[in-house]
Structure 1
């Protein structure tokens, strides 16, 4: 039994919550959270939950969640069970360090999901301070999991001992994987409009605006399905209306359940994840696309593994924003290559990200004693 601690309410729709959810299904321990978005508790869980979820009282100061002492707080800190916390979160980091200080022999580990991109102003300086503290704290913990070789190398470069770092890529749920892999292989679409898919929160760093601008430069018809919601939806819809000509179509679906999302995956030719910050460190939606048999395009960032996830050696490109329009033009002009890249992407998924591979890697972590007390 391994306890987990994170900021959000799992399983949720974000990568951190989905990772914590899959680990909880295997580890069986309770999951403690600060319940950062309590309104989501009124929505049905997107994935079935079989483990205990416990909310910790907290004080909200802007975006900062400060855990408050309570019976649940003390139960978590004084337990002898292994504790695994998900970063980034100053509150989670503080409780991991407290747990380690109160019980020095306890296994206390961290899941390093991403490096934070420093932005201008006070918030950027605070992010930088948190990240410095987090990196300074890692040596005090028993071990750290991260999601890609790219992040592992960066953690090592920042001073974390390599023997304490374990790479465990994200995974899909068993049901998601099964239904995606069961979809038929993509066939060359001939003269049909290239179908592009985006899945994610419609926020500024996701850069759907860049995707729209790149698609608007294509010489032939295309269509774009946008799955997800967020604060930029209205602005993006207005941009799409201004850019789209008679030969293209953009559909904003909002947040979809798994069955409706699968339909979008089944009819798409290509997924694009145009995020421009290392806050997007993996992009689990790329796994959904690859398992469904389509290629995934993402940018290469120094402190992010998102460019590594769907990277195909048979289709080299710079993975930089300036090249996106040209790459889309190449893929639009060559339906047979699009279909071939989809098959290669599914092969890469089976080789690196299949649940059986994920389970073996997690078992190695457990057997090495990296988590167990």
Structure 2
């Protein structure tokens, strides 16, 4: 059994199955008339705000109806208003159909270079709105694009952020910060990247940015934060003074929140991005080790803040795969575990007849009705109100 900590990702995008119908979704599964999945579009969650993708972030397009020929190669293309232009396939993605005739291909959201226009204010067709561009699947060609595979696969993505941000703590890339943890000046950095068919740190020449952190309650600055910074010319936003998302900022019982960093060109505020900055718990988990199907085990650990104190308004849940879906295995809390945040699920008995399934299991926090809480329902096990922190295999 292998345990893995899940780096929480926040993903949001707008998807269309035709150029006339926009569907808001975090993860879109297109089905046939019988409810069978045909294709799926999702992204890596790197910091999009609701209804907006960011130039350069990674999307994953999947064909899941066994309709392709084994080992054939493919690319994604975007209509820039005049022609179909190849999109950059992400490193490590070969674009080949597997032996079952399915495909999973990672590619980057286009930017100014591919679209030959402002990705946020321009549009790919007269029938679309600003920032909307159609993409489709093509056969592979060494340069440009081969033949279009299906005219019916015409997906409209919504781009709303020009600049991609990556977060670092003490030089290590992270995708979230910890509730009630003190980040001294210089510990936390947000690096600003421009997409030009590769990510370039926006640090030289004409780049100059202003930045501010927005609260989880809406697009307003953090109270008493002083975290605004102007004239960023090295491409790195370093908030000052020391930063801590504690109870003076997070005033609700739920401490898992989505904050935002808004960066904009110092000379032209319309050139900007608003990128999600999740604040989560420090979850210390003891995963079952060496267990196989048929064994009995518990899941134990603690929900902590950045100072090591317990946090306990949540239920801790365990989910497992069952018949192509996911089922709740066990729940501890809220209120049933210690004020120090320590939890332990009742015994979990695997094996036939217990209603569980072998595969990847997920452990995380659950609460409903919370304001500003990250929505992870686009990630397995696809449960609203649940944030998966760890996974393990049974």
Q: TM-score range by the shorter chain?
A: under 0.3
Q: Between Structure 1 and Structure 2, whose CA radius of gyration is higher?
A: 2
Normalising by structure 2, we get a TM-score of: 0.26
User: Which has more strand, going by share of residues?
Assistant: 2
User: Which has more helix, going by share of residues?
Assistant: 1
